[in-house]
Chain A
């Protein structure tokens, strides 16, 4: 048993919220550089150059990459031999979000009630996903998720007979209709399986994998390549103004599901795939 003070969780979450919003991860930068080499259209090249310049300015000045500093999607991998001392875990996390966003010059984009729509002014509450894992450590992942790409995300329950071809069509239809408004080049997270409530999370966890990495399962690696090629063949391009790079990557996460179901979710993400991890 190892004791982690709740205050340490709060401090770590606050720091991660800031760093995630200021620093574009290395895997995303590498994918953007690769995309720039592939593009010939001057407009696509100009947009990719702006994206890379933006990452430099944000890092140098410790300011947000995007004014939409997102809803704080936080994933905790909590070792089952950890004892948390002090605040309730979710309170410790939300205190960290409030601290990180208000002290870090990050926009507060959360309204307390979806219909009354009054801003909570500290970006809480976070969207929290907790997994219990072996060991005595706590891994914290912060993914600030913008509202525009949330609106472009989608979930559909297919009959099992629909199979892989229906999934390909669903992804292409969603990117065709909503990709332009999601600040392409995109990273598309696809969740397959689980249940209605689980598949959205599954799609989001797919976004956490390093861009440019392949899944261990070769069949899924091939499916990801097929989807990426098909998405890029749409020609939507950077910011929807044409080009070869509509998406930097398509990632699939899959899970067992009911014999009657084939749940599929698409977590759309923009080029600013911000995420930061720390283990306590």
Chain B
């Protein structure tokens, strides 16, 4: 049975969220994938102003397809998270409380989630049309020149995810491997 959360509550209660929890999230997600991560990391390194406040945000690893006229957003499923691993500890240190993507991550992310009291969730890959129906509004907030790799703000309702890494060091993928 999935637990429903407003994203504002979810980030406040992050330490009580556990690997294996199925969640329906409602609120704001920010998309970022490879190129946006690279730029954010560079801005942080250069001590420049960021185009968005990272504290208490949830980052969704996604580069949406274009929306048809009248649709809130184009198809928008998760991309492979592990490509973002080199940047994730830095972003968590800036206050990002959760990341959403697909697949397994390196051990450094398990540690980073513990250090910064954050979680990593997975959404089902390859169901982008279905997930786009959970998005009610979308707009580009930064790096529009990156095209599909821009940062989008997505307002979602009942966006389905499963917690894969929690703030206590539990790992759903490892638990699943041990199960067979």
Residues 24-74 (chain A) with a chain B CB within 8 angstroms: 43, 47, 50-51, 53-54, 57-58, 61-69
B93 within 8 A of A: no
Q: Which of B10-18, B46-54, B77-85, B107-115 contacts A (4 or more CB under 8 A)?
A: B77-85
A241, B68: Cβ atoms closer than 8 Å: no
Bound: A196/B153 CA distance, A: 44
Bound: A239/B104 CA distance, A: 10
Q: Closest Cβ of chain B: how far from A101's Cβ, in Å?
A: 9
B173, A50: Cβ atoms closer than 8 Å: no
A241, B65: Cβ atoms closer than 8 Å: no
Using CB atoms, name the residue of chain A closest to B35.
A117
A107, B126: Cβ atoms closer than 8 Å: no
Whether A183 touches B67, Cβ cut-off 8 Å, given contacts A63-B129, A64-B75, A270-B126, is no
B75, A271: Cβ atoms closer than 8 Å: no
Residues 158-215 (chain A) with a chain B CB within 8 angstroms: 180-181, 183
A181, B82: Cβ atoms closer than 8 Å: yes
A237 within 8 A of B: yes
Residues 48-90 (chain B) with a chain A CB within 8 angstroms: 62-68, 71, 74-77, 79-80, 82
Interchain CB contact (< 8 A) of B127 among A50, A105, A108: A50
A181, B104: Cβ atoms closer than 8 Å: yes
A235 within 8 A of B: yes
A129 within 8 A of B: no
Residue from B129, B130, B147, B179 having most chain A Cβ neighbours under 10 A: B129
Bound: A183/B62 CA distance, A: 14
Interchain CB contact (< 8 A) of A57 among B35, B129, B149: B129
A121 within 8 A of B: yes
A148, B80: Cβ atoms closer than 8 Å: yes
Bound: A240/B80 CA distance, A: 12
Give the contact-size bracket for chain B. 35 or more
Bound: A51/B173 CA distance, A: 20
B99 within 8 A of A: no
A250 within 8 A of B: no
A124 within 8 A of B: no
Bound: A242/B104 CA distance, A: 13
A105, B173: Cβ atoms closer than 8 Å: no
B65, A107: Cβ atoms closer than 8 Å: yes
**CB-defined interface of B121-153 with A at 8 Å, one 1/0 digit per residue?**
010111111101100000000000011110000
Interchain CB contact (< 8 A) of B64 among A54, A67, A121: A67
Residues 134-180 (chain B) with a chain A CB within 8 angstroms: 146-149, 160, 162, 172-173, 176-177, 179-180
Residues on B with C-beta less than 8 A from A47 are: 124
Residues on A with C-beta less than 8 A from B122 are: 239, 241
A107, B176: Cβ atoms closer than 8 Å: no
B162, A67: Cβ atoms closer than 8 Å: no
A242, B180: Cβ atoms closer than 8 Å: yes
Q: Closest Cβ of chain B: how far from A147's Cβ, in Å?
A: 8
Residues on A with C-beta less than 8 A from B80 are: 148, 151, 181
A65, B75: Cβ atoms closer than 8 Å: yes
Bound: A270/B128 CA distance, A: 13
Q: Closest Cβ of chain A: how far from B74's Cβ, in Å?
A: 6
Bound: A53/B104 CA distance, A: 24
Q: Closest Cβ of chain A: how far from B80's Cβ, in Å?
A: 5
B103, A181: Cβ atoms closer than 8 Å: yes
Residues on B with C-beta less than 8 A from A270 are: 125-126
Interchain CB contact (< 8 A) of B74 among A51, A64, A117, A183: A64
**CB-defined interface of A242-280 with B at 8 Å, one 1/0 digit per residue?**
100000000000000000000000000011100000000
A94 within 8 A of B: no
Residues 92-109 (chain B) with a chain A CB within 8 angstroms: 102-104
List 5 tightest A-B contacts by C-beta distance, closest first: A235-B180, A181-B103, A54-B127, A183-B125, A58-B129
In addition to A65-B75, A107-B148, A241-B173, 5 A-B residue pairs with Cβ atoms within 8 Å of each other are A54-B129, A61-B71, A61-B129, A105-B74, A180-B103
Return 14 A-B CB contacts under 8 Å, by A number: A51-B127, A53-B130, A54-B127, A66-B126, A67-B77, A67-B128, A105-B74, A106-B66, A107-B63, A108-B147, A119-B146, A148-B80, A239-B124, A241-B172
